[in-house]
Amino acid sequence: MSEEKYVPKSKLARWFDSRLPLLSLSHHLTEYPTPKNLNYWWTFGGILTFFLIAQIVTGIILAMHYVANTDLAFDSIEHIMRNVNYGWLIRYAHANGSSMFFLAVYIHIFRGLYYGSHKPPREMIWITGLIIYLLMMSTAFMGYTLPWGQMSFWAATVVSNLFGAIPLVGENITAWLWGGYSLGNPTLNRFYSLHYLFPFLIFALVVLHIWALHVPGNNNPIGIDVKKNRNETMSFHPYMVMKDLLAMLVFILIFLGFVFYAPNFLGHPDNYIPANPLVTPAHIVPEWYLLPFYAILRAIPSKLGGVIFMFASIFILVLLPWLDTSKVRSAVFRPLYKKFYWVLVVMVILLAYLGAKPPEGIYVILARIATAYYFIHFLIILPLLGRYEKTSPLPTSISDPVLDKLSIVDKFKKTAAEYEGENVDTFK
Amino acid sequence: MLIRLNNLLVKVFFIVFVIIISGSANSEEKKIEFIKNNWSFEGIFGTFNRASLQRGYQVYQEVCSGCHSIQHLSYRNLVEKGGPEFTLDEAKSIAEQFEILDGPNDDGEMFTRPRRLSDKFANPFPNVQTATAANGGAYPPDMSVLVKARKGEWNYIYSLLLGYEEVSAGYELDDGVYYNKYMPGNKIMMSQPLFEGAVEYADGTQATETQMAKDVTTFLTWAAEPHLEARHKMGFKVFIFLIILLTLVYFSKQKVWSRLDSKENSDQKDETFDKVERAVTEYEGEDPKTFK
């Protein structure tokens, strides 16, 4: 970074830091300049870090008691819930933690979309973020299989069958994924193994994500580059740390509201029925955070087509920095983009809603419209907007919008006038 | 063009919402309202009613346990805090009523012995297949987490127990199938389990149908969630703690950020001072040099 080189004060610290620059790293992290105008939507990075660590810690404890065997998995979870000290707390925190993790990541992603955080020079932050998101989805999906309840079993069956749609080798791939000719013990074991591995891959990618962030620095609500001086940036610690902490506590309060008072609200009741390969549930639905993709999958009349569109809906986001060609980052200065952005938000929520509904009648038609809009938004609307949208004039610095407040002199004049006025009335 | 596009977008929004609302209104008509009841275990401070749990155990034991197992409950759970809280002796004598196959002993023989507190609840059937065969092809589900495994939870179980009705004319039912208002599809293989006076409560409570349904539902809710009371209690403490912490962090953050503002001002302090002095002078209409 552009700040002056950090040199530790004591001789010992200098000796250590020249061999392993941990002190320099920590100095960089605390002094890291953040724009002064970051709003509370920027606190979700910290919230996500908290949830990643919370999921890993609770997960490691659960792994001490869980048994990855189709005959024992369901009972071992009940054992955790009943007999392990505070097992109910750990498990409910882990299960609801995943939902909160996704809620936070969706807010984080949509914040990026609104303020143009995917645009140059931040493409690599965006792309590492998307890889993290993909890993999160697969981790969550495999984790949902572990209790080996009805929904676990059937959701896993539906998803692994998707690979069967691949021409020629599809059948072989599903058999390879299952480790047999049906979803069974080998599948559960490998899902468990990978469910334990992936969070650490996510952790490594989070390091890259933050590294990539620290090269250009934070984007900000105005979307213009900040000058790295005292008037426009502040050190990460203590300013952003305190703000992040405050937001994190509010979010944790919501999270614990679920854990303590509605722990099964976000789950499906069928997952408290042990898996039975002979009985198919009336409606197989994934967890709420995967519903938009499930809706896209079912909106396409052919199985292979559905799979292609579902994966494309994620892959298209990787191309976003090159599809969204507008030079202006923040939607604040893009009147048209702002409107299309909210249409996209509504469409994604609509897709989530439709993913939970049976694929029949009006739901299918709506799902097709919403899916079409999703792709049109990214493939047609954004490139066109980049070319034709008339953006509002950008301020020259991020402190500009603040300057319209009363200047100190004006304030003083006003107070003085008021004071004098009072004097006149009461004393003279 | 911009205005036209604007209107189009508003229309799209409007249409989408109308469709969503009408769509959810359609699915609404399939939903059945469960019978309402004031449950003591609902809400932030919800706790189980001990007497109701004990009566509920009696109903389970005398009515349900002929077909339904609760394989995740042990007799020791009956003594534990937050449950029916039977005394140790009561729970021991309950456990002793049931035998269990144990062994092998030192001679390599299997033997039966009365159950102890550490043993699981006795199963009415040795395996799922026997249970299914004995019940006309419908497996009576294990009741350990039954409340959590049904949409509507305790309200559903309570309503189901009271939802048996005479079939209206023209409605065909096979042998061994009964009509229940709250069962999805209305057809249930379990005959009406609760009748007035089906059990004689030890505490003298009148065993009406609704009373028994209420007690056994409470018992099953506890069986599915034995740490519910501990959860509610801890949740409340955690919330008090977090709210205090949140307040402290809020004021700390304000304090820290005010330093940011004052730092900003101190950079321009001299300049500001000059400006203020000038402003005062202007106001007073005096020369700064002669200002006292």
Q: What is the DSSP letter of A428?
A: -
CATH number at residue A228: 1.20.810.10
Q: What is the share, in percent, of chain B residues with pLDDT greater than 90? A: 70
Return d(Cα A328, Cα A207) in angstroms, integer: 28
Tokens of residue B142, six digits: 């294990």
- Residue at A25 is within a domain: no
Contact across the interface for B149 and A273, Cβ inside 8 Å:
yes
Q: B285 in helix, strand or coil?
A: coil
Inspect the interface and report whether the beta carbons of B253 and A81 lie closer than 8 Å: no
Contact partners, residue A277, CB within 8 Å, separation at least 6: A153, A182, A183
- Please indicate, yes or no, if residue A358 is contained in any of the structural domains: no
Per-residue CA distances from B68 to A21, B132, B164 (Å): 65, 11, 19
What is residue B271's predicted lDDT score, i.e. its pLDDT?
53
List chain A residues with CB under 8 Å of B228: none
Q: Does A9 touch chain B (CB under 8 A)?
A: no
Closest residue of A to B27, CA-based?
A: A357
Question: Can you read off the two tokens belonging to residue B35?
Answer: 């019978």
The predicted-structure confidence for B132-146, as pLDDT tens digits, reads as follows 999 989 999 999 999
Q: What local confidence, expressed as pLDDT, does residue B275 receive?
A: 60
Q: Which two tokens stand for residue A422?
A: 């009072």
Burial A199-216 (b: 16+ CB within 10 A, else e): beebeebbebbeebbbee
By the CB < 8 Å criterion, does A295 face chain B?
A: no
Q: What angle (nearest 5°) sits at the alpha carbon of residue A293, between those of residues A291 and A296?
A: 110
Set of chain A residues whose Cβ sits within 8 Å of the Cβ of B232: 260-261
Sign of torsion over alpha carbons A120, A122, A128, A131: negative
Q: Is the pLDDT of residue B53 over 60?
A: yes
Among candidate residues B271, B254, B285, the one with its CA nearest the CA of residue A408: B271
pLDDT for the residue B259: 85
B97: closest CA of chain A, how far (Å): 24
More confident residue, A173 or B278: A173
Contact residues on chain B for A75, CB-CB shorter than 8 A: 72
Q: Which of A379, A339, A323 is nearest to A120 (CA)?
A: A323
The torsion defined by the Cα of B117, B121, B124 and B130, in degrees rounded to 10, comes to -120
- Please give the tally of structural domains in chain A: 1
Nearest residue of chain B to residue A362 (CA atoms)? B23
3-class secondary structure per residue, A14-34: HHHHHHCCHHHHHHHHHHCEE
Asked if the Cβ–Cβ distance from B263 to A230 is below 8 Å, we say: yes
What is the predicted pLDDT for the residue at A425? 47
Residues 397-426 of A with CB under 8 A from B: 408-409, 412-413, 416-417
Is A290:A137 a contact under the CB 8 Å cutoff? yes
How many Cβ atoms from other residues are within 10 Å of residue B169's Cβ? Answer: 5
- Residue A321 falls inside a structural domain: no
The H-or-E segment that residue A35 falls in is strand A33-35
With beta carbons under 8 A apart, name residues in chain A contacting B260. 36, 234, 239
Q: For the purposes of burial, counting CB atoms within 10 Å of the CB of A189, is it exposed (0-12), middle (13-18) or buried (19 or more)? A: middle
- Residue A82 in contact with partner chain B when CB distance is under 8 A: yes
What would the pLDDT profile of B158-170 be if each residue is shown by its tens digit?
A: 999 999 998 877 7
Phi, psi of A389 (to 5 degrees): -65, 135
Which residues are CB-contacts of A47 (< 8 A; sequence separation ≥ 6)?
A104, A244, A247, A248, A251
Is 80 exceeded by the pLDDT of residue B291?
A: no
Model confidence band, residue B157 (pLDDT cutoffs 50, 70, 90)? very high
| Whether A249 and B275 lie within 8 Å, measured CB to CB | no
Beta strands B99-102 and B111-114 are: antiparallel
Question: For residues A299 and A360, is the Cβ–Cβ distance under 8 A?
Answer: no
Task: Please report, in tens digits, the pLDDT of each residue of chain A (428 residues total).
Answer: 445 678 999 999 999 999 999 999 999 999 999 999 999 999 999 999 999 999 999 999 999 999 999 999 999 999 999 999 999 999 999 999 999 999 999 999 999 999 999 999 999 999 999 999 999 999 999 999 999 999 999 999 999 999 999 999 999 999 999 999 999 999 999 999 999 999 999 999 999 999 999 999 999 999 999 886 667 899 999 999 999 999 999 999 999 999 999 999 999 999 999 999 999 998 899 999 999 999 999 999 999 999 999 999 999 999 999 999 999 999 999 999 999 999 999 999 999 999 999 988 899 999 999 999 999 999 999 999 999 999 999 988 887 654 444 455 555 666 666 666 555 444 44
Least CA distance to B229: which residue of chain A? A260
Angstroms from B197 CA to nearest CA on chain A: 32
Cα A61 to chain centroid, rounded: 24
> CA–CA separation, A4 vs A228, rounded Å?
12
> Is the distance from CB of B73 to CB of B121 less than 8 angstroms?
yes
Helix (H) or strand (E) holding A342: helix A335-355
The answer on pLDDT for B270 being more than 60 is no
In a domain, A41, yes or no: yes
Query: Residue A42 sits in which domain range?
Result: 32-284
From A242, A339, A409, residue closest to B253, measured CB to CB: A242
Tell me if residue A274 falls in helix, strand or coil. Answer: strand
A276 contacts on B by Cβ (under 8 Å): none
φ/ψ (deg, to 5) at A35 = -60, 145
Alpha-carbon distances, residue A74 vs A90, A95, B77, B219 (angstroms) = 16, 15, 20, 22
Average pLDDT value for chain A: 92
SS3 B187: strand
The rounded distance, in Å, linking the Cα atoms of A177 and B252 is: 52
Token output for A321: 């920095």
Mutation for B interface: A231, A339, A389, A399, most B CBs within 10 A: A339
- With beta carbons less than 8 A apart as the criterion, state whether A345 and A339 touch: no
Peptide bond into A238 cis (omega under 30): yes
Residues of B with CB below 8 A from A350's CB? 16, 20
Contact B253 A416 (CB under 8 A): no
Give ipTM to 2 decimals.
Answer: 0.87
Residues 211 through 230 of chain A touching chain B, CB cutoff 8 Å: 230
**B224 interaction partners in chain A (CB closer than 8 Å):** 272
In the structure encoding, which two tokens stand for residue B151, read together?
């949409």
Residue reference for tokens 């591995």: A197
Which residues on chain B are in Cβ contact (under 8 Å) with A36?
Answer: 260
Q: Name the band, by pLDDT with cuts 50, 70 and 90, for residue B171.
A: confident
Q: State the Cα–Cα distance between residues A153 and A142, nearest whole angstrom.
A: 10
Q: Are A97 and A51 in contact (CB under 8 A)?
A: yes
- Alpha-carbon span B76 to B226, nearest angstrom: 12
Whether residue B216 has pLDDT greater than 50: yes
Asked if the structure places residue A7 within a domain, the reply is no
pLDDT of residue B23 exceeding 60, the answer is: no
Has residue A123 been placed in a domain? yes
**What contacts B103, CB < 8 A, 6 or more positions away?**
B109, B110, B111
* Nearest Cα residue to B59 out of B27, B84, B34, B25: B84
CA–CA dist B285, B288 (Å, integer): 9
